[in-house]
Structure 1
Amino acid sequence: MSTDLDTAVRRIVEVPKLLVALDFDGTVAPFTDNPADSRSLADAHLAVIRLWQLRQTTVAYVSGRALDSLRAVADAPRGLLLVGSHGAQVQLESGAEDPQPLNTQTVRDVSDLGTRLENLIARVPGAWIEHKPVGAVLHTRNVPDDQAADLQRQAREIIAQELPVARVLPGHDVLEFSLKQTDKGQAVQRLREHVHADAVFYAGDDRTDEDVFRSLGKGDLGVHVGDGRTAAEYSVADPRALANVLMGMAALRRRHLTLTENL
């Protein structure tokens, strides 16, 4: 951890109510060819559990995955907040989902979107479509780079013409189309208000996480995982480096809460 990031972590752990919100894939979990095989690193998972156990501290996963998929891979304890589909799905402390029903036309559009993408990849080995409650995702990780780029271009053109209301969300070897106009930045602000957090720590690796970094305010802390330009104030190399940050944060937060409890 850099000296500047260490100083920022030491500052944020001292706020009265802290929200720690984390992307999942590429952030606490390395990427896998099969998303169903993804799991967080052992140290990252341990740090998340330690933070979740602390008083005045709320932990949330904020993912592009559908909520069911996030539940399946995150191994999250009951009470840890979950946000799926880039903010379109929310699970709060009770375990109950926050309902955001789609109207009839949007349901039809989601079905149409999935069908058009399935038709596009029908003869492209390695490409596959992930169907979500509010959209669909074109996966090209196992497609040669030049073919993947062409496939994503075609998908953009088809959906722009046939379903212009769909929001395009590019990511690492994926291209997502969503029929819900929401983003991770809005989702994190909603979580902040829900738990009355005094500050937010957020870590993420993807383009969709930039919506969160841009929404953070004075006193918050954003950490980008990986290479590339980012609106986050700090960056770390990979999920293992972030796991070290989270382990340190958990220890510092516990120490601070113990000291203030004894005053």
Structure 2
Amino acid sequence: MLLIDNAIRTNLMEQYAAAKSRLFLLDYDGCLVPFADLPTNATPDTELMQLLEQLGTLQGNDVYIISGRDSYTLDNWLGQLPLGLITDHGARFKKKDSVWQTAAADDISWMPEIEEMMNRYALGCPGSFVEKKDLSLAWHYRNAEEHTGSENAETLYQELQNKEQALTLAVLNGNKVIEAKGRGYNKGSAVRALIEGNNYEFVLAIGDDMTDEDMFAALAEEQNAATIKVGMSDTVAKYRLQDINTVRAFLHDLAVHTH
């Protein structure tokens, strides 16, 4: 797994330029924008909006934001751009200039029990809070005291894992967040559905967190796919970029790269 240097960058640029059909799969938080104290504060800035518009309007480019965010939020922030959106960890998607579809019919009968459990942790860990989405629940501890937050996160994660089988849950241990969702879908299943029947000549997938590993794994056998992990944690991705700034610079280089 290689940190993208000038030689790799040049090679990827050449592959991109030679391809007539290209797919971009871009995680949002921690990849395109910094994490915020509150999820609602991580709004896209003007520079990012311009970059995504530039990438999305180029002939041959299909650009998707693929995120654990809910469909309402991402549609509100990015829906006017020439992009596709995959939200709720792969459960919902909208192709460019199309309408929302649900990829996975999901049973959320588990939600009340898990919400009660997460609220208990939120009460016992000052600064943490529960975010309720349509198809998942997330306990955020970014604003909690470091030791208390990490300790509670570990305990909550274990407690949720013990419920996985009985409640058909998938538990995600993300960046300062523990999330519970249905088991029938993930970013990997969404990506497989997207590339099936589409003969993309160049695929670029960028993500920073454990949920993106499903996406990277789904593309592992695709010879024309470049998978990129943001940050230094373990990954199955082929390449690595250090941070959001290097991701944006790399995407900007692709956006202005002429044939």
Task: Name 2:15's counterpart in structure 1.
Answer: 11
Matched residue of 1:108: which SS? coil
> Which secondary structure does the structure 1 equivalent of 2:112 belong to?
helix
Stretch deviating more after TM superposition (24-33 or 120-129): 120-129
Counterpart CA distance in 2 for 1:152 and 1:12 is 41
- Runs (4 or more) in structure 1 with deviation over 4 Å come to 100-103
After the TM superposition, which residues 184-195 of structure 1 pair with which residues of structure 2 at under 5 Å, given as runs? 184-193=187-196
TM-score between both structures, scaled by the size of structure 2: 0.88
Correspondence 1:222 to 2:223 = no
Q: Is the 1:43–1:243 Cα contact (8 Å) retained in structure 2?
A: no
| Count of residues paired in the alignment | 251
The answer for the alignment partner of 2:147 in structure 1 is: 146
SS where residue 196 of structure 2 aligns?
Answer: helix
Deviation by residue 1:198-251 (Cα, 9 ceiling, x = unmatched): 331111111111111222211111122122222222211211111111111112
- Find the aligned partners of 1:101 and 1:199 in 2 and give their Cα distance: 27
Residue 125 (structure 2) pairs with residue 112 (structure 1) = no
CA contact under 8 A between 1:110 and 1:133: conserved in structure 2?
A: no
- The yes-or-no answer on 1:131 pairing with 2:132 is yes
Q: CA RMSD in A?
A: 2.1
Letter matched to residue 59 of structure 1? V
Q: Is the contact between residue 163 and residue 169 of structure 2 (CA under 8 Å) also seen in structure 1?
A: no
Q: In the aligned structure 2, how far is the partner of 1:210 from the partner of 1:85? A: 15
User: Within 5 Å, which residues of 2 pair with 1:78-97?
Assistant: 78-97=81-100
Equivalent pair of 2:52/2:81 in contact (CA under 8 Å): no
* Cα displacement (A) at 1:72: 3.5
TM-score normalised by the chain length of structure 1 = 0.86
What CA distance in whole angstroms lies between the structure 2 residues aligned with 1:123 and 1:99?
A: 35
- Which structure 1 segments of 5+ residues have no match? 257-263
Deviations 1:86-139 (A, max 9, x none): 101112234411135746xx2321233222211332232111011122220110
In structure 2, C-alpha distance between the alignment counterparts of 1:142 and 1:12, rounded to whole Å: 40
Query: In the TM superposition, what is the alpha-carbon distance from 1:195 to its structure 2 partner?
Result: 5.1
Structure 2 unpaired stretches of 5+: none
Distance in 1 between residues matched to 2:240 and 2:249, nearest whole Å: 13
Provide closer, same or farther for how the CA distance between residues 41 and 242 of structure 1 changes in structure 2, counting only shifts above 3 A.
Answer: farther
Closer/same/farther in 2, CA of residues 127 and 237 from structure 1, 3 Å limit: same
